[in-house]
Amino acid sequence: MALKDFLAVINHVDVARSNRFVVEVQPPNIPGLGIKPQEQINLMCQDVQFPGQNIRTSTDDLRQGPTRDIAQAVTYGNTNMTFICTPGLPEKLFFEAWQKLMFNSVTWQAKFYSDYIGQIKLRQLDRLDMVRYGIILHEAYPKIINAQEYSNTSADTIQTLQVEFAFHHWSMDEELYR
């Protein structure tokens, strides 16, 4: 491919940019949170990992010669998001309230899976804010709320919160492709 062909493609369709995205966290109903705090959560998402997928394989060694890895199933890893925090850490309180749907803090008994799963929509935008790609993380929940560091040596640094989400699977956001 010649340089002029490459430039023609770039000039015609542009390139995807990693800072052009929208996150829509849709938790289950969390009692006591009042208005929809996820709207602020969505705005304050600084970083997100659009998840990949992995094909789990097994070795086929029943035949003569070199072995083959054959597809067995699909698996998904967790995904991370970083949120900018505002005073009073309502972002952290939001995810802590969501996690409280997962277990009884007195008996430590786990609650029902269907009571704490939500979904997360991830969308990639172009320079005109048009959605160009979108996926939905199904059966999502905040598995880990990472520790937050505070330090007297970090002058006026923005406080962030990193949350690791588990989810069952992801699919294309069909609503975008109709």
Tens-place pLDDT, residues 90-122: 999 999 999 999 999 999 999 999 999 999 999
Q: What is the pLDDT of residue 29?
A: 79
| Cβ proximity of 27 and 118 under 8 Å | yes
- In this predicted structure, the answer to whether residue 37 has a pLDDT above a threshold of 80 is no
Name the phi and psi angles at 26, rounded to 5.
-120, 90
Q: Output the pLDDT for position 56.
A: 92
Give pLDDT, residue 36. Answer: 59
Higher pLDDT, 5 or 49: 49
Give the pair of three-digit tokens for residue 154. 């970090």
